[in-house]
């Protein structure tokens, strides 16, 4: 194998740039054509979609108000599932709290000098995400309290069988994407273009 010259490398880079530009141009044309083709369909369905979305928002607000007004109903079980809608209460993430940021920074520098760059930001504020990773005993030493997450109501949707199927199809297509780049055995298929 011979060593390439800079002129050959520049020429190959230019060919790649030209090929990339052509790919982008074709993809943009496809996107534009699809957008134009879908515009009348989208316009025909948009009013009904907007109406359905508004009705869904009203129903969700009503359910949220009912859940928030009756937390005692969600002691055991903490949530219910009705036709794909899961709602109830769940514990929020725990947090941390401290009174005097300057005092905590001073204690971090005194007790944990090797970690102070990680735990204290350069503008002299506490890096809450990093401090939260410390052992609770160490946090107490530097003046930080653990705050238990409070119960918070929630509403979520579970995947329907159709949504699960669509996700599986998309995942399979993404997996095959890499396989398409590998050479395949020669097979002739009519009506299929690459």
Burial 12-42 (b: 16+ CB within 10 A, else e): eeeeeeeeeeeeeeeeeeeeeeeeeeeeeee
Mean pLDDT of 110-125: 86
Same domain, 83 and 161: yes
Nearest to 112 by CA among 137, 145, 129: 137
> Given this model, what pLDDT does residue 179 score?
56
Mean pLDDT of 129-149: 88
Does 180 map to a domain? no
Evaluate if residue 91 carries a pLDDT over 90. no
> Given this model, what pLDDT does residue 188 score?
45
Answer for the pair 119, 126: CB distance below 8 angstroms, yes or no.
yes
Answer for the pair 57, 117: CB distance below 8 angstroms, yes or no.
no
Does 165 map to a domain? yes
> Given this model, what pLDDT does residue 61 score?
93
Does 2 map to a domain? no
Question: Domain total for the chain?
Answer: 3
Greater model confidence, 176 or 65: 65
Nearest to 146 by CA among 133, 154, 136, 138: 136
| Strand runs labelled E in 42-144 | 79-82, 85-91, 95-97
> Given this model, what pLDDT does residue 168 score?
72
Share of the chain above pLDDT 90, in %: 38
Does 118 map to a domain? yes
Same domain, 40 and 122: no
Predicted confidence (pLDDT) per residue in 141-154, tens digit: 999 988 887 777 77
Q: How sure is the predictor about 177, in pLDDT bands with cuts at 50, 70 and 90?
A: low
Same domain, 101 and 63: no
> Given this model, what pLDDT does residue 189 score?
43
The boundaries of the domain holding residue 85 are: 72-89+155-173
Does 4 map to a domain? no
What's this model's pTM, rounded to 2 decimal places?
Answer: 0.45
**Which range (40-44, 63-67, 108-112, 160-164) has the least confidence?**
160-164
Evaluate if residue 24 carries a pLDDT over 70. yes
Does 128 map to a domain? yes
Same domain, 48 and 81: no
Structure tokens at 174: 């993404």
> Given this model, what pLDDT does residue 193 score?
42
Query: Measured between alpha carbons, how far is 174 from 167 in angstroms, rounded to an integer?
Result: 10
Answer for the pair 97, 73: CB distance below 8 angstroms, yes or no.
no
Mean pLDDT of the chain: 83
Does 182 map to a domain? no
Evaluate if residue 18 carries a pLDDT over 70. yes
Does 161 map to a domain? yes
Evaluate if residue 21 carries a pLDDT over 60. yes
Q: For the chain, what is the total number of helices (H) and then of strands (E)?
A: 6, 5
Nearest to 136 by CA among 126, 149, 145: 145
Q: How sure is the predictor about 170, in pLDDT bands with cuts at 50, 70 and 90?
A: low
Mean pLDDT of 155-159: 71
């Amino acid at each position: 194998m011979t060593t390439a010259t800079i002129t050959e490398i520049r020429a190959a880079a230019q060919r790649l740039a030209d090929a990339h530009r052509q790919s982008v141009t074709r993809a943009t044309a496809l996107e534009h054509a699809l957008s134009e083709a879908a515009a009348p369909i989208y316009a025909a369905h948009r009013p009904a979609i907007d109406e359905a979305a508004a009705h869904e928002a009203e129903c969700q607000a009503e359910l949220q108000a009912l859940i928030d007004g009756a937390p005692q109903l969600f002691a055991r079980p903490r949530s219910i599932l009705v036709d794909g809608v899961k709602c109830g209460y769940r514990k929020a993430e725990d947090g941390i709290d401290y009174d005097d940021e300057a005092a905590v920074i001073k204690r971090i520098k005194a007790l944990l000098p090797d970690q102070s760059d990680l735990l204290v930001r350069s503008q002299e504020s506490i890096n809450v995400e990093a401090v939260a990773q410390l052992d609770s005993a160490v946090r107490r030493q530097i003046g930080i309290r653990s705050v238990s997450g409070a119960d918070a109501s929630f509403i979520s949707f579970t995947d329907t069988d159709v949504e699960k199927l669509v996700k599986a199809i998309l995942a399979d297509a993404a997996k095959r994407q890499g396989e398409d780049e590998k050479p395949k055995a020669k097979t002739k298929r009519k009506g299929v273009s690459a």
